[in-house]
Structures are given as structure tokens and as C-alpha cells.
Amino acid sequence: MILTCPACTTRYLVDAGAIGVGGRQVRCAKCGREWRQAPAAADILPPGDGSGSDAALVEEITPPPISPPEGIRPLPPGSNLPALPQSRSSTRGWLAWAALVMFLAIGTSAAVIWRQAVVAHWPPAGKLYELVQLEVAPPEIFAFDIRDVASKVGFEGGQRILKVSGQVVNVGPEAKSVPRLRVMIIDDDDRPLFNWTVAMPTRNIAPGEATPFTTRLPDPPKNVKRISVTFEA
């Protein structure tokens, strides 16, 4: 007969004779839970003295022994049986953990391979790479600075125009060409309304030299709060 622990659901295959017709106290070998195990209904004989018609009936309905197929042996008494089949939720949990480990491994590899770009966009990351003894070249000092940005709304030819002006200064040690600028207008809630790029002179700007820029936006929104001018990435 099969006993099932009421606490941890571990199942055991035991000889019905070990339980007896009156039942007995048993204990789970896995969790230590004890309970009173009653005999199986099939192990309790119907009233009678074991002779006559009752005995004949029991003898008639007793099935003949079945020989197991070749290569398969029955479990000996006391062998553990699986408590329950693995649930789908448990399988999904393992898959989620495997996916997380794979994601972390890929992210770590990318952070190591492209560490130069990571430090360029987030300089404090250089300290983290130093802790794990990964060499990172010092980022190049950006050679330009945007100064004296001003904006004004006016009318030209009867059309409302937003005019943005300023200058770019070479603060680096050598002459370089100025990259394109990106102008963005922002509303009262600090939300971007519109942005556009401005082409700068293609010639090289000497160290300390400044070059002005001016750009116009026709029919700008009326809820413009401020202007942002940056270098195009």
C-alpha cells in the first residue's frame, strides 16, 4: 500500500501487513511528521470465520499474481515514490532565473568590451573599472564650448520668427572643425517641443578662436519656456 505524509506529501510504498488490521503509528522519514495510519480498506476482511462461503468469495476474487515485464522489477517495500509531478509554475520559475543569468552575463560582457564608450558617457564608471583592474584610456577633453546663447521672437516679412544666436569657442589645445549643433525648444513643463540641427563652418577653428552661429525657426509655438543648444551626438 502507499502511505502519503500529510505534512510534506512524501509517499512511501510499504507492506500492508506492516500496518496491520488495527492500524499503527507511523513517522515520515523526510520531515519527521507522525500520524496514525489506518489499514487499507482492501486489507480488512469481511465478517466471518475465514471459512465457508466468505472464504470462497475471497479466494475467487483474489487476482492471480502478475509477472512484471522483462527488465522491470517491482519496488521493494519502503521505497520512496515521487510526491507530486513538477508544476508548470516551477518550470517557468527556473526558466526566468536562467534568462536573468544570461541577461546579466551578456550585460557584463558588453560593459567590459565597450568600457571606453561607457566611461565617455558616464565618467564615474572609470572608478568601477579600476576596482576590477580593467584598463580604460582617459577620455578626450571636448574641444569646444557654447557661449552667449540668446533667443528672440520677432517678425520678418509678416511671419513670426524665433531667432537663436550664440558662439562656439575652441577651448582645446589644437585646431579642429566645429561639429553640428542641436537646438531644442522646451515648454513650461520642461517637455521638448521641437528640435533641429545647425551646420557650422567646415574650416578648422584655432585654439581660443570663436565662431558665431544664428538660426531661425518660423512660426514657433507660443508656450516656449527656454532654449537648449548642444552639440549633435
The tens digit of pLDDT for each residue in 19-76 reads 778 788 888 888 888 888 888 765 554 544 444 433 333 333 344 555 544 544 555 5
Name 192's bridge partners.
186
Would the pLDDT of 165 be above 50?
yes
Burial profile 196-226: b = 16 or more Cβ within 10 angstroms, e = fewer: eebebeeeebeeeeeeebebebeebeeebee
pTM as predicted: 0.41
Q: Which residue has the higher pLDDT, 73 or 127?
A: 127
- Which amino acid does the sequence have at 79? S
Please name which of 120, 117, 115, 118 lies closest in space to residue 135, comparing C-alpha atoms.
Answer: 115
User: What's the start-to-end Cα distance of the chain, in Å?
Assistant: 75
